[in-house]
Structure formats: C-alpha cells, structure tokens
Amino acid sequence: MKEQLVSAFVERFDARPTVVTRAPGRLEILGNHTDYNEGVVLSVAVDRAAFVAAGAVPGGTCCIRDIMDGSERTFSLDSLDSPTSGDWANYVKGVVVELQKRGIEIPAFEAVFGSTVPMSAGMSSSAALEISVAYALGELAGADLPWQEWAKVGQGAENNYVGAKTGLLDQFSSIKGKAGQLVFSDFRTLEVENVPIPEGTALVVANSMVKHTLTNEYNDRRESCEDAVASLKPRMPDITALRDVSRADLERHREALDPVSYQRALHVVGENERVMAGISALEDNKLAAFGDLMFDSQNSSTQHFENSCDELDTLVAIGKTLPGAIGARLSGGGFGGITVHLVEADKAEPYSEALADVYSKQTGLESEAMICQPADGANTLFKA
C-alpha cells in the first residue's frame, strides 16, 4: 500500500510525498460501549489499516484524494466551519480543526489515502483514517503530542465535527496495538496495557453485510447511559459514570431508573465485569471461560443494549455450532457491521468458510469472512 500511495501521489500531484503514515483498524473483543462510560475494554489492532501520503504546499488550499474510488476533496484551511453531512472529508477536516484548536499551525497540504479496513463495518475505518491523517499532518507541522492527545484529536474530529459522540476506544486501539497482543484500556485513568493472546487461536471476522450509520443510535445509547447516572446520583452521590456502579447497585436502585436506562446501564456494567473476568481467564489460560464471556456479551447486546440485529445474532449462533469455536460477539458500535469469532487456529480457515456459507443460506446475504491477525499500532512509514 505504501508504494501504491506514493505512485498515486506522484501521478496526481507531480511531486513525491514527504510523509507516509499508517493506522490500523480495530476489533473490540470485550467491553462494548464502556469507553465513554469511563470503563474498561479489551480490543485488538488488526492487520487492516488506513494509509496517508502527504506533502505541504504553499497557500491555504488543501486537496486530498481517495485512491480507492478516485473521489477528491479540496478545501481551504480558513473555511472549515461547515461540515458537509455524510462526507468522508469531514474526518480529515475535523482532524485539522482539532489540531488548530491545540495551537498547531497546519500548512496547506496535498494528500492521498487508501485503506484496507472495511468501511462502515465495525472495524473503525473512521478512526484509522483520523489517526493516519493526524500523524501525517503532525509530521508536516512538526507537532509533538503525547499519544493520548493524538487519540483525543481523532475523537474530537468524530465528536465535534462529524457529530458522533464516540469514546476513545477506536483511537486508543489504533495507536497502542501490538502484534500478538490484545489492548486493555482503562478509560478513567487513560492507561493502556497489552495482554497476550493465547497461542493456537485466531480471530475470524464476519461481515453481516448490514451497513450501519452510527451517529443517531450511538448518541441515543450514550444519552441513556448519562440519564442512568443522573438518576442514580441522588442515591449514590459519589458516582460520576457507570464505571462506579456495580450490578448490585443497579438492582438496589432499579426503581430510580426508567426501564430503558436500566437496560442500557445493565449492559455497560456487565461489560466492565466481563472485561476483568476475561483478563483473569486469559491469565489462567481458561479459553472456554473467555469464550463464554464473549457469548454472554452478545446476549447482553441483544437483550439489554439492543445494538445487535437479527443478522449479527445469526452469525454468532452459527459460529457457536462450528468446530473450533471458542467465543463470538458483535464488535464495535453494533446495529449491523461485524462479528468477531475467537477460534482454534488450525480450524480458522474451514470455520470462516462454513460461517459464510451457512449465513448465506439462512439469510440470502453474501457475508465476507476473513482471518485477522493482531498488528502493531499507528506509525510513520516514511518521512523525507
């Protein structure tokens, strides 16, 4: 992809780029919608990534080209006040705005980008683009920020410019991934550790082929979580987020919550518990127990958070019956997109083929199932 981008840049702009960056997509393994509730998550950066080649130019006009479909956007650094709804360039412009807010003077630039992360499928193609753009523009501007601040730049683009109230999970995973490792993120302390994935396992990713547009559903779920905290606070004055609430607390004060907020909170509180139980299971090499936690997470998404759908439920149910299955659940925001399946490595290929085949027969949809490997986090591939 690096060579392809450089060639595309030279062809389009008749010059060589001065920087090439890469940022991977991610899979969420346990900890669904916990990041913006100051909770904990187990995720993994994958060997699918967004790449950006860029160079600074005189003046104030920027141009960026998507080599995958040939689309192109031109915009002025002085006219970034009005996002265009649904336009992919919002992710780029939003990064520029966030860097400018931090006092970083971004030069006008020309850029091309490409990505191997499936779009709108729950592997965080948007965060991969945001971080690869942020790293490229940071190099052009000579900016030096702590890694957590780079993550906040990506999140800010999503929250403030695109309009989706996402947490920091996607950006943290993209930046702090490590080959052969999961990423354990604590979104209260903003600390990250890497947790080894047991040998002899593989990750199969299955696309439900149901596209999701997260903004409205995501924002609704976040508001329900905030409502739950507000309703609990008179009885639990020390809490600031659902991170501070246990399952026993929820049951004790259930009557203080409206039914929807209770269900949403039950999912988030349960997910925090499952993440910590999952780490213990991995440390003790209890793979079956870890897999059960993944299945439990899916059940909670279906019953309590209602961010699953029939197609995702079907993929998980099929996977559970196949040889080599350890665990499976939706990955990402939900409402469509993908499921992630932890399987025995020597059965990963037939597992993925059978999963797609049975899913097609049951739904009439042609699923794309692929085997992913844990990958290193975002980096600069080249700088002149």
182 with 235, same domain: the answer is no
- Residue 124 pLDDT class (50, 70, 90 cuts): confident
Q: Is residue 377 part of a domain?
A: no
The answer to the question of residue 173 being in a domain is yes
Q: What does the mean pLDDT of the chain come to? A: 94
Q: Rounded mean pLDDT of 10-34?
A: 97
Q: Would 36 be classed as within a structural domain?
A: no
Residue 373: per-residue pLDDT: 87
Name the domain boundary from 187, 209, 238. Answer: 187
Averaged over 104-109, what is the pLDDT? Answer: 97
163 — pLDDT class (breaks 50, 70, 90): confident
Residue range 241-245: average pLDDT? 98
302 in any annotated domain = yes
382 three-state secondary structure: strand
pLDDT over 70 percentage in the chain: 98
Residues 276, 180 share a domain: no
The pLDDT assigned to 334 comes to 86
Q: Are residues 182 and 211 in the same domain?
A: no
Q: How far is CA 250 from its chain centroid? A: 28
Q: Which domain holds residue 364?
A: 201-372
Instruction: With respect to residue 249, please indicate whether it lies within any of the assigned structural domains.
Output: yes
Query: Is 341 found in the same domain as 206?
Result: yes
**Gap between the Cα atoms of 38 and 40, Å rounded:** 7
CATH of the domain at 308: 3.30.70.890
Q: State whether 136 and 270 are in the same domain.
A: no
Range with lowest mean pLDDT among 94-98, 139-143, 217-221, 240-244: 217-221
Residue 355 shares a structural domain with residue 228: yes
Give whole-number Cα distances, 375 to 27, 29, 179, 348, in Å.
11, 14, 4, 18
On whether both 83 and 114 belong to a single domain, the answer is: yes
Is 241 inside a domain boundary? yes
Q: Determine the Cα–Cα distance for residues 340 and 124; give it in Å rounded to an integer.
A: 13
Angle at 123 between CA 74 and CA 306, to 5 degrees: 115
Mean of pLDDT values over 269-292: 97
| Domain tally, the chain | 2
Residue 100 has pLDDT above 70, yes or no: yes
pLDDT tens by residue, 62-82: 999 999 999 999 999 998 988
pLDDT tens column, 311-329: 999 999 999 999 999 999 9
For residue 229, the SS3 value is helix
Residue 205 sits in the same domain as residue 293: yes
Choose one of 187, 216, 251: the last residue of a domain.
187
Which pLDDT score, from 0 to 100, does residue 212 have?
63
- Of 141, 158, 187, which one is at a domain's C-terminal end? 187
Q: How confident is the model at residue 20 (pLDDT cuts 50, 70, 90)?
A: very high
Percent of the chain residues past pLDDT 90, beyond the cut: 87
Tell me the backbone φ, ψ of residue 204, rounded to 5 degrees.
-105, 130
231 inside domain: yes
More confident residue, 119 or 49: 49
Residue positions annotated with a catalytic role: 170
Same domain for 133 and 272: no
Same domain, 318 and 266: yes
183 and 223 co-located in one domain: no
Our measurement of the distance from residue 357's CA atom to the centroid of its chain's CA atoms, rounded to an integer in Å, reads 27
218 found inside a domain: yes
pLDDT at 214: 59
